[in-house]
Amino acid sequence: MKNKTIDKNKQIVSIMDIAGKDENAITKAFAVIVRKDKTLLNYLINRVSLAANKKPIKVDNNTFKATTFELEHHIYKGKSKGRTDIKIQNDKVALYVESKIKTNEVTYEQANKYSQELNRSKSKLKLFAFICEVGNMNIDQRLTNKYPNIGYAILSWADTLELVIKRGVIKVNLVEEYKQYIKEKRNMKIHDIDIWAVVAKGKQEKNFNNGIYIHSSKHSPILIGRREWDEKLNKSVVKELRPVLEVMDEISAKKIGFNIIKLGGTKEDYLYILGGKLKLVNPLLPKNGKFSQTSAISLPFSELKLR
């Protein structure tokens, strides 16, 4: 058997590999590090300020906490639009970063468009940094003449590495970072319990009472609740739940004696085997007045009160 060649580009060596290898990825990698360290941000502000012949302003703890960091910040001007690679802003400093790799350059048109917005910032110190690999050896004089309040500077990627190495060690709680990424940034529904609120009429209602449910899709809820109309509340609610013990396709169901077709389904449907009834103290109400299209409900165990 021949040894397979290992694709080094697909190996995970650094956590930065998750960003990728292109221009946007490298920019994101640097931005994320700066976002997590006040000292490194001050190093960056200091380097850009001195290169731009501007007096640096130091960011303290409170200002750092109030600092906003944006990647690919959208700028619109009439029909024209663009995106700054990095936008860092607080009441003391506004720093825009446009980055390029290889021989790519920040054009005057690009810089002018972003400078117009930066110039309107209420921050005391306004800075614009071009991070380049080879191009942009000089700042276009039209920019410095048009926007004297903005300090322009050219940095190399080697400069960014130098700043990070100078910082030494940056400690980041990756557990908390991943938690925020999944639950807040990506807005995924991760809770203790995943409940599926279903409609059961006709054969489905009879099936449900006998401890089974048939559906065309395969889901993985912990519990299934049947929707009922509450006359007092004048809305559909869930008053009892049943645990999902197993989900089977038509062939698997037939092996244990269930004929999905005779039960009102098709060969493509799935059979949900349900446990005993769990009656709720308070009915589950749909969010925003009605159940979602997926009928999914997520809630912590603390909110589930049974009789």
Q: Looking at the structure, tell me whether residues 74 and 28 fall in a common domain.
A: yes
Q: Residue 1 falls within a domain, yes or no?
A: no
173-208 residue pLDDT tens: 888 887 777 665 555 444 555 788 888 888 888 888
Q: What is the pTM of this model?
A: 0.61
278-291 residue pLDDT tens: 888 888 887 766 77
pLDDT at 78: 56
Domain end point (choices 126, 158, 185): 185
Confidence of residue 1 (pLDDT cuts 50, 70, 90): very low
pLDDT at 212: 92
Which residues lie across from 128 on neighbouring strands?
Answer: 96, 152
How many domains are there within the chain? 2
Average pLDDT over residues 35-64: 97
Report the mean per-residue pLDDT for the chain.
86
Domain end point (choices 185, 213, 238): 185
pLDDT at 302: 67
Q: What is the CATH number of the domain that holds 209?
A: 2.30.130
Distances (CA, A) of 177 to 34, 184, 194, 255: 15, 10, 24, 46
- Residue 26 · residue 19 · CB < 8 Å: yes
How far from the centroid of its chain's Cα atoms is residue 232's Cα?
Answer: 40
Domain end point (choices 185, 218, 240): 185
pLDDT at 217: 85
Please tell me which residue, 123 or 81, carries the higher pLDDT value: 123
pLDDT at 4: 53
pLDDT at 293: 62
3-state secondary structure of 279: strand
pLDDT above 90 (res 141): yes
pLDDT above 80 (res 45): yes
